[in-house]
């Protein structure tokens, strides 16, 4: 049952107009409850959200002609084209008391329609510096964050519940949807080449394979089987709770060919795990090579393999870089930091002229 929300008290609306789970939906699901915990009156609007999620109803929108309690305007925080346009219509055609804000994680030249929408925003935010480079308007950069209260290192060996079938093995993990965009094939082929040379290491791939990518998955599994490595390069499928796996692995690999932002390296670092990543998404903002991980050019399989081999040859580097990654996430990439930074912008907009 949906929590009842009085729209008169709501100062920011986070629309989610796609039913299918995506990174945008995950961001909303993480951020809105944390912002409410911080005392800020925000609610979501739309489908594809948990049943008890704080949200308003579409039939409540007529109330947007009036200002919210305690502010001049509400903020409509869009994250997709399909959400920007309704915000513009509500503000400019229906003359509702709204300021429209957009967050972009896209790392490509925007099409003319998207540029038209962005040019009509009251405020624009980029999720990382590379995304900001494609925006043609003034903007702020606010990094996405992870919940460091819940995503954290294991307190003891007994806390690590995952991977019991790999007792005595060091694990290399690659987590996320199994598809070419995520570079799963680059990781698997690097493992086929490396794992036979390093006794005591096993690779695990966790993540969902959708129907459209099933043939891609089957091809990779056949390559693993042909190499005789079915017990050392292991597809786990979609797991119910990925956090214990972050705690269990010794090295995390993020081989994406392209990303909007990409949270998995941060989740790994928050769990005190060293990281090898491509330079896709915001990974360059997260990783200082040699300090808390290594970066390689996106799509470069040989470079990825060489970077992973560096840690397999020198496992002491895994240990030495864990704390640096953990310190960085807690200082710069926490969910609370993201939530607070956005609240400051909301408050600026809701009382602006």
Can you tell me whether residue 296 is helix, strand or coil? strand
Q: How confident is the model at residue 156 (pLDDT cuts 50, 70, 90)?
A: low
Domain residue extents for the chain: 7-145+335-350, 157-332
Share of the chain above pLDDT 70, in %: 96
Q: What is the pLDDT of residues 191-250, one digit of tens each?
A: 999 999 998 999 999 999 999 999 999 999 999 999 999 999 999 999 988 989 999 999
Residue where the block lists tokens 């390069």: 233
pTM of the model: 0.85
The candidate with the shortest Cα–Cα distance to 30, out of 6, 14, 41, is: 14
The token pair at 115 is 């540029």
Question: pLDDT value at position 1?
Answer: 47
Q: How confident is the model at residue 48 (pLDDT cuts 50, 70, 90)?
A: confident
7-145+335-350 and 157-332, same CATH topology: yes
- CATH of range 7-145+335-350; options 3.30.1360.120, 3.40.50.2000, 3.20.20.60, 3.40.50.300: 3.40.50.2000
Q: What is the pLDDT of residues 277-307, one digit of tens each?
A: 999 888 988 898 989 899 999 999 999 999 9
- Encode 313-325: b = buried (16+ Cβ within 10 Å), e = exposed: eebebbeebbebb
Can you tell me whether residue 288 is helix, strand or coil? coil
Domain 157-332 has CATH 3.30.70.2190: no
Using a 10 angstrom Cβ sphere, with 0-12 exposed, 13-18 middle and 19 or more buried, the burial of residue 282 is buried
The token pair at 255 is 């081989």
Q: What is the pLDDT of residues 108-131, one digit of tens each?
A: 899 999 999 999 999 999 998 888
Quote the CA–CA distance of 245 and 33 in Å, as a whole number: 25
The candidate with the shortest Cα–Cα distance to 279, out of 305, 304, 302, 308, is: 304
């Amino acid at each position: 049952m949906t929590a009842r929300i009085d729209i008169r008290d709501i100062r920011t609306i986070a629309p989610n107009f796609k039913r299918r789970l995506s990174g945008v939906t995950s961001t909303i699901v993480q951020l809105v409850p944390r912002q409410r915990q911080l005392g800020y009156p925000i609610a979501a609007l739309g489908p594809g959200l948990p049943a008890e999620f704080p949200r308003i109803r579409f039939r409540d929108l007529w109330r947007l002609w009036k200002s919210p309690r305690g502010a001049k305007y509400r903020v409509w925080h869009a994250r997709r084209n399909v959400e920007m346009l309704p915000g513009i219509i509500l503000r400019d055609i229906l003359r509702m008391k709204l300021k429209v804000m957009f967050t972009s994680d896209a790392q490509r030249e925007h099409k003319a329609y998207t540029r038209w929408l962005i040019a009509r925003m009251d405020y624009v935010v980029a999720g990382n510096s590379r995304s900001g480079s494609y925006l043609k308007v003034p903007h702020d950069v606010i990094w996405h964050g992870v919940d460091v209260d819940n995503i954290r290192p294991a307190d003891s060996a007994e806390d690590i519940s995952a991977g019991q079938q790999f007792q005595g093995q060091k694990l290399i993990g690659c987590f996320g949807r199994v598809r070419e965009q995520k570079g799963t094939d680059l990781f698997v082929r690097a493992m086929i080449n490396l794992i036979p040379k390093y006794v005591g290491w096993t690779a695990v791939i966790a993540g969902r394979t959708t129907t459209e990518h099933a043939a891609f998955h089957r091809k990779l599994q056949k390559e693993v089987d042909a190499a005789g490595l079915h017990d050392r390069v292991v597809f786990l499928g979609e797991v119910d709770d990925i956090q214990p796996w972050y705690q269990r692995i010794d090295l995390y690999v993020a081989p994406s060919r392209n990303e909007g932002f990409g949270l998995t390296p941060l989740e790994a670092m928050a769990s005190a795990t060293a990281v090898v990543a491509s330079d896709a998404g915001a990974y360059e903002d997260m990783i200082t090579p040699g300090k808390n991980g290594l970066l390689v050019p996106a799509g470069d399989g040989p470079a990825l393999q060489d970077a992973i081999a560096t840690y397999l040859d020198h496992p002491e580097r895994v240990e030495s870089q864990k704390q640096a990654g953990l310190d960085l996430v807690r200082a710069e990439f926490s969910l609370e930091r993201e939530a607070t930074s956005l609240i400051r912008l909301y408050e600026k907009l809701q009382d602006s002229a």
